[in-house]
């Protein structure tokens, strides 16, 4: 919506709609405010995407680590059960 605003009046109207409870002063240079807001929004979006990527990578690594841990534990238990079964053949 802000990126589509072309006139100073449109930009002032958008700024006022962001905080309707307080009186916002008329901006002397709305185009500069618009460019600053758009750059801040772009930076926040970039940071958010980077953080989401880091979280996704960490989650993936943690899932792989847990999978290896559980599978290794199951393999060790299976060898233990087989060895116990072989040792106790006299009880059957």
Residue 70 CB contacts under 8 Å (≥ 6 apart), including other chains: none
The pLDDT of residue 26 is above 70? no
pLDDT, tens digit, for every residue of 39-92?
999 999 999 999 999 999 999 999 999 999 999 999 999 999 999 999 998 887
Structure confidence at residue 67 (pLDDT):
98
DSSP 90: G
Q: What is the CA radius of gyration of the chain?
A: 31
The pLDDT of residue 9? 76
- Per the CB < 8 A criterion, the answer to whether 2 and 31 are in contact is no
């Amino acid at each position: 919506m802000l990126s589509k605003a072309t006139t100073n009046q449109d930009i002032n109207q958008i700024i006022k709609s962001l905080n309707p409870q307080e009186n916002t002063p008329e901006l002397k240079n709305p185009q500069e405010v618009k460019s600053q807001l758009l750059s801040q929004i772009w930076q926040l979006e970039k940071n958010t995407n980077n953080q989401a990527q880091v979280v996704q990578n960490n989650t993936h690594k943690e899932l792989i680590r847990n999978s290896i841990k559980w599978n290794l534990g199951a393999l060790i238990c299976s060898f233990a059960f087989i060895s116990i079964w072989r040792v106790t053949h006299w009880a059957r």
